[in-house]
Structure 1
Amino acid sequence: MPKSIVRNLILGGALLFSLPSFALSEVGEQSLKRLQGRWAEINYQLPETQREAAFAKLADEAESALKAEPQAAELLVWRGIILSTWAGAKGGLGALDLVKQARGEFEAAIKLDAKALDGSAYTSLGSLYYQVPGWPISFGDDKRAEQLLKQALSLNPTGIDANYFYGDFLLRQKRYAEAQVALEKALAAPARPGREVADAGRRKEAQALLQKVQAAKE
């Protein structure tokens, strides 16, 4: 798979700064909150059989929001998150195109404002790199994943998502002691106002992974 200039800059560690982001309009803020809230409802409250269609519809909403504000790093991040979780709901090789689209959104967000939403683009991009297959099927790369996840943690060391995904990565690498530390940090993360459903769902996932870590250490 050919490497874009943006990918080389981001993943090679040569991106030393980012362009200033454009402030979201009031409508953009409302769109962002709507996308975040609906994503949490779909991901954590909707039956699995209904998620694929619901994420597809939400991806369209995110695309419409981005057309109105194409320079909004926050909306790019969230369209990427929606696309990647839609891919997870879809499954199989048919999901790889969605994953590639998500990667593009995260890379574009980092180019605009790497610190947007506390570095969430790094967290989400890193999670893709350790969860998708490697070459020649896709772009999975554990080394790149860890670089990106650590970058996310440097921007948001106490964040629930940054610590959860790093803990998940470490568990898959059988680095159990490190995974336990990361997951315990995720469970102790401060609450995010307006993100109660997402926080509750993520804590439940972190607790489940922590139980796996503890079982593996016994």
Structure 2
Amino acid sequence: MRAITITEFGDPAVLQLTEQPDPSPGSGEVLIDVASTSVNRADLMQRQGRYPPPPGASEILGLECAGTVAELGDGVTGFAVGDEVCALLAGGGYAERVAAPAGQVMPLPPEVDLVTAGGVPEVACTVWSTVVRHAGLAAGELLLVHGGSGGIGTHAIQVGRALGAQVATTASAQRLARCAELGAEVLIDYHDQDFAEQLAGRADVILDNMGAKYLARNLAALAPDGRLVV
């Protein structure tokens, strides 16, 4: 199979199209003929030598993909050869074929095409696990999404609105219009406005990708019994 590989760390010029052995599905795995994948920040960092893959994972870049099921490993049920799926990967998405644990493979709904689906698993799984499963966002609550114009942010805005929440977001001024199109109602330009002052004590859930430097202001923005997910 063909794959995008690297033999040294560096800028995009180190990416090479090479021939690699076809993977085989192990027990509990699904082999996927890849139709699309995406570029995540972790891929950029791995290419630069700043984000090594987990032990045992493929050295090939690519943390998600969409495609069709080519083969099923022992013990896999719920899928059939030819099914259109997307998958969350530990690596290997930048290739024509990849084997993924069946628990990380998801069937595509009819309205989602294979190209679009290649960029869904990372953001969808991140947002759903943090905002819904851990924080328990409910209808009528206020969700603050930091970095609303990025991959995680754009997905979180849409999930929040679909669940009936009011959504506030931080982004640069030129990107706030797109956030509004996706459903954000409270638009905060992080260059000129302080979200802690704007939302003081009103945010029920905050999805934060900034970490320590936002912690004090996140706490100031949280409502009583509010939930902060990082």
Same fold (TM over 0.5): no
**Structure with the largest fraction of strand:** 2
**Structure with the largest fraction of helix:** 1
Question: Normalization by structure 1: what TM-score?
Answer: 0.29
Question: Normalization by structure 2: what TM-score?
Answer: 0.28
When Rg is computed on C-alpha atoms for both structures, the one with the higher figure is: 2
